[in-house]
Structures are given as structure tokens and as C-alpha cells.
């Protein structure tokens, strides 16, 4: 048994939870996916320590917890830049590090992004609930006792014989926002908007409201969309943009419900959901309409890129 160790939370963070690809296969009985906010960063975090793609990581918002490594342990960070330090030395996202017993991981400031992923080689020893280790905070199950991590929690790693290469840096541009627009396809209720409102969606400047959380990002526009559109509840997904009765819009994020009763006017493409998840609050962006075919082309290229990155990394590690 190599590299099996543990880490402890020595100071609670704002919102640190165990997350994996999500609880899949239960949406028909109202059980949400509760996956990660930024699936690219999550993918990189697991890759760097040689984990399977669906291994659980810790997803952290700012300010994250302070973490003590109780044993020597390979770990990696990916996603937001929170100016991470091991003891008093700065460390980088996108690289694998070996923590020594007693090392303290802290995060000094929110430089960019909103969510960072911490992976450990082998993953965490946590029971599956309904085939997933991810946390459902709202109903209080899965992950670490169904709650966010708090001071005093000790997470044990699973044994791993992976020998990471701590010199390789893996960059994945999509884990950082690179443009000031999000690409969307139209949603099922888009056609119920007036022509003027449809155009406004692509003309307005938007920004993420401070009242946002992992269930939904509330989005402020130049004006509200007055409407009297009603619909019966129906399935929704991450990145669905709904029009609320008060005329505001919101984008559903990782902890969204399985169904919704608000008009689905737009749907963000997968790549830009991740970008929006990491997008700075109050910085403006625009919505750009693209076709389903274009959205699929972007996604397929993304999948290809990920596979290439994974192959190249594993080859270098040997």
C-alpha cells in the first residue's frame, strides 16, 4: 500500500464539498445530479494524480479551508487561482505536488475564478450513496455526511501506486474565462418571447448577481423581461437559462433541480457553462446565439482535446 494518507480541515472554508461527476440515473425521481461547477478543472485535477475520471475531489469556493496533510500524499489543484500556498511557498494549479506530513495548504486571495478542485492520488475513501460520492447539500446526503467540510474533519485517501511527475504542468484554457460572451442555443420556450425580447437577449449586457449560488446564477441584464408566459413543469439541465416571473433571468448550475416550471429561454453550451461557473461577479458579458450543430462541434472538439491532453500527460508520466 503506497501513498494512502489523510488530510484534515484545520479551518473551515466558505463552501468546500466532496464532488464527483454527479449522481446519475435518479433524475426521474427528483434526485439531482449535484456534479461539479467546472467539469474541465475537475477533469484536470483527477488526471494530474492518475485518478479515474469520475473520482471524487474537493470543490472549494473562496475562501477555502486551511488543510493539513497528515501523511505524505500526492495532490493537485485545478480551476480557480486562489493564490495557493504550501506552508509559506506558493504553488501552482495544473501540477501534481507531494505533500509531506504536517504540510499546511492555504489560499491567500481570489485572483481569478470561483471554484478550485483538490484531488489526491487514489481519491478519497468515502461511501457511495446512490452510486456517487457527490454531496447533496439541500437534502443532506452523499459526500462527507451530506454537508460541507468543516474544521476537524479528516478525510482518508485510498491507496494508490500511481507515480506522478511533479514537474509537468498541464494547462487547460477552458478552466479560465477567455472571452466576454457566453454561447447559447435557444431553449424550448424561446419562441414565446416577443421578437423584441428575443433580440434583447443578444443585445443586453449581463452580469452575475451576488445572490448566486451553486443551484443557480442569478443574472442581471440591462432591463428586465416583462412577460406573462406560463408553462407546466418539465425537465431542465445545467446551463438552462430560465425566465423568472419577475422578469429576471437565471442560469441553472450544478445543484439545480431536476425539473422546472419557468420558461427555458436559452441553453448555455457545455464549454461556456464551465466558463460562466468561473466568471467574475459583476463583470459584464453578452449572449451569443449559435446553432445546435455549432454547439455540438465545439463539444466534440473539447472532448477530443481532453482525450489528447490525458493521453499526452499519461505518456509523459510513463
Partner 1 sequence: MRLSQSDYQLIPVYEYGLLINFNIQFSDPAYIQQIKFEIEKKFKSVSIDFVPAYHSLTIHLLPPHVVTTIIMDIDSILRDFEWNEIEKEKALLNIPVCFADAFASDKKRICDLLHKDWATITKELTQQTFTVYMLGFLPGFAYMGMLPETLKLPRLESPRKKVAAGSVAIADLQTGIYPTDSPGGWNIIGRTPIPMFDLKNEQPTLLHVGNSVRYVEITEDEFYVIQNKPMQWKTQVA
Q: Using CB under 8 A, list all residues that contact partner 1.
A: 24-32, 129-130, 136, 138-141, 185, 187-188, 232-237, 239-240, 257-260, 264, 267, 269-270, 292-293, 295-296, 299-300, 303
Rounded to an integer, what distance in angstroms lies between the CA atom of residue 186 and that of residue 289?
Answer: 7
Compute the least distance from the CB of residue 192 to partner 1, in Å.
13
Looking at the Cβ atoms of 207 and 237, the one nearer to partner 1 is: 237
Looking at the Cβ atoms of 2 and 299, the one nearer to partner 1 is: 299
For residue 209 the three cell numbers come to: 448577481
Compute the least distance from the CB of residue 245 to partner 1, in Å.
11
Rounded to an integer, what distance in angstroms lies between the CA atom of residue 125 and that of residue 157?
Answer: 5
Q: Which stretch of DSSP H or E encloses residue 51?
A: none
Rounded to an integer, what distance in angstroms lies between the CA atom of residue 59 and that of residue 187?
Answer: 29
For residue 194 the three cell numbers come to: 416577443
Looking at the Cβ atoms of 31 and 216, the one nearer to partner 1 is: 31
Looking at the Cβ atoms of 166 and 259, the one nearer to partner 1 is: 259
Pairing assessment for the beta strands 181-186 and 286-289 based on DSSP bridges: parallel
Rounded to an integer, what distance in angstroms lies between the CA atom of residue 54 and that of residue 49?
Answer: 13
Compute the least distance from the CB of residue 240 to partner 1, in Å.
8
Compute the least distance from the CB of residue 299 to partner 1, in Å.
5
Compute the least distance from the CB of residue 112 to partner 1, in Å.
26
For residue 265 the three cell numbers come to: 429561454
Dihedral class, residue 135 (left if φ above 0, else alpha if ψ from -120 to 50, else beta): beta
Looking at the Cβ atoms of 123 and 187, the one nearer to partner 1 is: 187
Rounded to an integer, what distance in angstroms lies between the CA atom of residue 296 and that of residue 149?
Answer: 36
Rounded to an integer, what distance in angstroms lies between the CA atom of residue 2 and that of residue 14?
Answer: 32
Looking at the Cβ atoms of 159 and 261, the one nearer to partner 1 is: 261
Looking at the Cβ atoms of 91 and 229, the one nearer to partner 1 is: 229
Give every strand in the sheet of 16-19, ordered side by side. 16-19, 57-60, 112-120, 73-81, 96-99
Looking at the Cβ atoms of 161 and 234, the one nearer to partner 1 is: 234
Give the residues across from 76 on adjacent strands.
Answer: 96, 119
Compute the least distance from the CB of residue 95 to partner 1, in Å.
27
Compute the least distance from the CB of residue 231 to partner 1, in Å.
9
Compute the least distance from the CB of residue 185 to partner 1, in Å.
7
Amino acid at each position: 500500500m503506497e501513498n494512502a494518507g489523510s488530510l484534515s480541515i484545520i479551518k473551515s472554508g466558505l463552501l468546500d464539498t466532496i464532488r464527483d461527476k454527479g449522481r446519475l440515473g435518479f433524475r426521474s425521481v427528483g434526485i439531482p445530479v449535484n456534479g461539479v461547477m467546472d467539469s474541465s478543472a475537475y477533469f484536470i485535477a483527477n488526471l494530474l494524480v492518475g485518478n479515474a475520471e469520475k473520482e471524487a475531489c474537493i470543490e472549494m469556493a473562496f475562501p477555502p479551508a486551511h488543510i493539513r496533510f497528515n501523511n505524505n500524499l500526492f495532490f493537485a489543484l485545478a480551476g480557480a487561482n486562489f493564490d495557493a500556498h504550501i506552508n509559506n511557498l506558493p504553488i501552482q494549479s495544473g501540477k501534481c505536488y507531494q505533500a509531506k506530513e504536517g504540510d499546511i495548504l492555504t489560499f491567500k486571495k481570489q485572483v481569478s475564478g470561483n471554484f478550485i478542485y483538490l484531488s489526491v492520488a487514489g481519491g478519497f475513501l468515502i461511501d457511495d450513496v446512490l452510486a456517487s460520492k457527490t454531496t447533496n447539500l439541500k437534502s443532506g446526503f452523499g459526500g462527507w455526511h451530506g454537508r460541507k467540510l468543516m474544521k476537524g474533519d479528516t478525510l482518508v485517501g485510498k491507496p494508490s501506486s500511481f507515480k506522478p511527475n511533479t514537474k509537468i504542468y498541464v494547462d487547460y484554457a477552458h478552466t479560465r474565462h477567455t472571452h466576454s460572451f457566453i454561447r447559447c442555443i435557444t431553449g424550448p420556450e424561446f419562441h414565446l418571447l416577443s421578437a423584441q425580447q428575443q433580440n434583447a437577449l443578444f443585445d443586453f449586457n449581463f452580469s452575475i448577481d451576488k445572490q448566486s449560488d451553486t443551484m443557480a446564477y442569478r443574472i442581471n441584464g440591462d432591463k428586465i423581461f416583462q412577460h406573462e408566459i406560463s408553462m407546466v413543469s418539465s425537465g431542465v439541465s445545467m446551463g438552462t437559462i430560465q425566465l423568472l416571473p419577475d422578469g429576471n433571468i437565471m442560469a441553472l448550475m450544478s445543484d439545480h433541480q431536476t425539473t422546472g416550471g419557468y420558461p427555458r429561454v436559452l441553453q448555455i453550451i457545455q464549454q461556456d457553462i464551465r466558463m460562466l461557473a468561473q466568471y467574475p461577479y459583476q463583470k459584464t458579458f453578452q449572449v451569443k446565439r449559435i446553432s445546435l450543430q455549432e454547439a455540438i462541434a465545439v463539444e466534440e472538439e473539447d472532448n477530443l482535446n481532453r482525450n489528447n491532453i490525458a493521453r499526452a500527460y499519461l505518456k509523459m508520466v510513463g
